[in-house]
Amino acid sequence: MKDIKQVVLDSDRLQDDPDGFAALLTENVNLVNIAGRRLHGRETVRAAYHQAMASQLAQVRTRIEIQDAWLVQPDVAVVTATKHVSDERAEANAPLPDKGAVTFVLAHQDEKWLIASVQTTPIK
């Protein structure tokens, strides 16, 4: 489980590096962020993250706290976590939740674990 959890921790560490983050994803990844935006495909996610890093969204930082991880199949894993959000944007924006429940699905491909799906649900 250590290598599976490390991919999730790396996704947190690379949140402001669109190319590094995208390297952790399967080609057909499905991502739903804390604001409800759905992105499908590694290149779509990469482009959205590049756009976000060029905007005030670069001032929104998150921290992942892993709760659990388990294998569903030998090549499929689930990781549950809490996402803590720090919104440091200077201008008035739609408020973001302070915390979200996040579920990662990882697939073992080409001798490594990659994120196939990530869903974040705001916690009120």
DSSP conformation letters of the chain = -HHHHHHHHHHHHTTT-HHHHHTTEEEEEEEE-TT--EEESHHHHHHHHHHHHTSGGGGEEEEEEEEEEEEEETTEEEEEEEEEEEE--SS--PPPPSEEEEEEEEEEETTEEEEEEEEEEE--
Give 85 or 113, the one with higher predicted confidence.
113
89 pLDDT more than 70: no
Please compute the mean of the pLDDT values over residues 30-40 and round it to a whole number.
93
- Give the list of residues 6+ apart from residue 74 with CB closer than 8 angstroms, or none: 108
Span 39-68, pLDDT tens digits: 999 999 999 999 988 877 656 788 999 999
88 pLDDT more than 90: no
Q: What domains are there in the chain, each with its CATH number?
A: 1-122 (3.10.450.50)
1 pLDDT more than 80: yes
Residue at token pair 């998150």:
62
